[in-house]
Structure 1
């Protein structure tokens, strides 16, 4: 397709200051198997290999959307800079990613500034299919999904931070 109506490269992001030191936040954002506890959409995650948290490692994620639609995707870690940056590409049935997710952490003493971003890739996704089915509504559809993703990111980061603080009472792992 030559004109994807603005889907590829559509991006959003959030910044959330959490009351946890950076090592605790790193532990949370790399705990793929716990995302289902915190995320409004992702209900399952599991590492697919024993490589550790390194670029090239793979994990499976399963998502459930408000309309009941579910996706099963494979994610490949693209960055794993301990205590600083964790990122992955999301793949469906194509060799190109349908999305890129990234966390950047900034240590601030016993607090951490968490920056999370989402960028849509060229792969086929629900957003792309929705835009293609109603091209006259493309801008509105894209912005609506980006707004929803930003709200979900805030929710996930806040829920993760709350769970980690309560895990030991002080947020220290």
Structure 2
């Protein structure tokens, strides 16, 4: 039985950033290295300049173990300002993970409800390989992903309030 495919973690927060600005932040993949504990860089591929379904971008990640990876991500949702999502295929082209942001206006003016989720796919990932050997490592990885998603959202919204933030 496959206990890894479909495993999901989700964080939902209300942030003091207007929804249109939050859309700009979650789709600014070139800035993720400023915010994420693991992602150290990203850039659009194939002459893409903004999110669109089937657009591709590269991500560069560094894990606490020191392991580094470069992945190619494919956008599967780009519905301004409501949803931005991408998949990370494995070497065989099978979805290893899906990352999704859903945004909606908050109850207070100028706020946004941000829902960020990670879902493990059927593809081969480092988390799958380690988790099939020791399920506790996969559970720990999910906890780390959840913490990192929360940290990233916090950093996005904090950086947006700094003087001189890119707009």
User: Same fold by TM-score, threshold 0.5 exceeded?
Assistant: yes
Match of 1:127 in 2: 127
TM-score (norm 2): 0.92
TM-score (norm 1): 0.89
Superposition pairs for residues 1-173 of structure 1, below 5 Å?
A: 3-4=1-2, 6-51=3-48, 52-108=50-106, 109-134=109-134, 138=135, 140-167=136-163, 173=167
CA distance in 2, matches of 1:47, 1:122: 25
- Over the aligned positions, Cα root-mean-square deviation in angstroms equals 1.6
Q: Which has the higher contact order (CA 8 A, sep 6+)?
A: 1
CA distance in 1, matches of 2:9, 2:66: 23
Q: Which blocks of at least 5 consecutive residues in structure 1 are unaligned?
A: none
Q: Which blocks of at least 5 consecutive residues in structure 2 are unaligned?
A: none
CA distance in 2, matches of 1:141, 1:92: 20
Is the 1:74–1:92 contact (alpha carbons within 8 Å) kept by the matching residues of 2? no
